[in-house]
Amino acid sequence: MSLLNLIPGIVGAFVGVIGTLAVSLILQRRDYIRRAWSSARAVYFELDVNRLSVELALQFGSFAPLGRSSFERLLPELATILDVAELQAITGAYTGHAGYQQMSTEHDHPRAVRELALHGLLAAHVRALEVLRMKAFSESERRMLATAPPASVEITSATSPEAARTR
């Protein structure tokens, strides 16, 4: 066998290896970005449930536990698709959990202080939800989220104590 017969095989093998590496890197990157978007969606819905819990605490004084498992587990993926200001808005909503927990166990804070703190935490959650809504959802999905009835706390006539007594 001469060297001239081996050159096309060596070149073909080299091109094949480089092509395989390039395609696998592209597919791996695409999968990582897809997981990051899915992570942002999971954190969005966790924040929405937390926002509802903060509203309950603000309106009725009922402190439900706030979730943070999605955020803690998915923070590295979130950091790949969010810039610093957006990431700060998300972490700001979660940093208020310690104060929320303290307010739920200690009742010696004046009502005005509790309300001020809860309003601040609620505003942080709303801001984080806005950031994630713009990043994690397509335009059509954002329209769908906007037209869906918001999960909020309101006493209606069907759930009021007076309605329960008349049944």
Instruction: Answer yes or no: is 166 within a domain.
Output: no
**CA 128 – CA 147 distance, rounded (Å):** 19
The per-residue pLDDT for range 42-63, each reduced to its tens digit, is: 999 999 999 999 999 999 988 9
Q: Among 163, 144, 143, 145, which residue's Cα sits nearest to residue 155?
A: 163
Q: Which three-class secondary structure state does DSSP give residue 27? A: helix
Residue 99 Cα distances to 14, 96, 119, 147, angstroms: 59, 5, 12, 32
**pLDDT > 50? residue 157:** no
- Whether 70 is in a domain gets the answer yes
Q: What does the alpha-carbon distance between residue 9 and residue 16 come to, in Å, rounded to a whole number?
A: 10
Q: Does 61 fall in a domain?
A: yes
Cα distance between residue 162 and residue 85, in whole Å: 47
Residue 95 resides in a domain? yes
- Please report which helix (H) or strand (E) contains residue 97, including its range: helix 97-105
Mark residue 61 as left, alpha or beta (left: phi above 0; alpha: psi -120 to 50; beta: remaining). left
Structural domain contains residue 65: yes
pTM for the complete prediction? 0.76
Contact 141, 38 (CB under 8 A): no
97-105 vs 84-95: helix crossing angle, rounded to 10: 10
Which domain, by its residues, includes 47? 37-155
Q: Is residue 31 part of a domain?
A: no
Residue 126 has pLDDT above 80, yes or no: yes
pLDDT of residue 150: 60
Number of domains in the chain: 1
Residues 45, 103, 126, 138: what is their CA dihedral angle, to the nearest 10 degrees? -10
15 within some domain? no
**How far is residue 34's CA from residue 150's CA, in Å, rounded to a whole number?**
27
Name the percent of the chain lying above pLDDT 90. 57
Average pLDDT over residues 26-31: 89
Does 143 map to a domain? yes
pLDDT digits (tens, 9 = 90+) for 87-98: 999 999 999 999
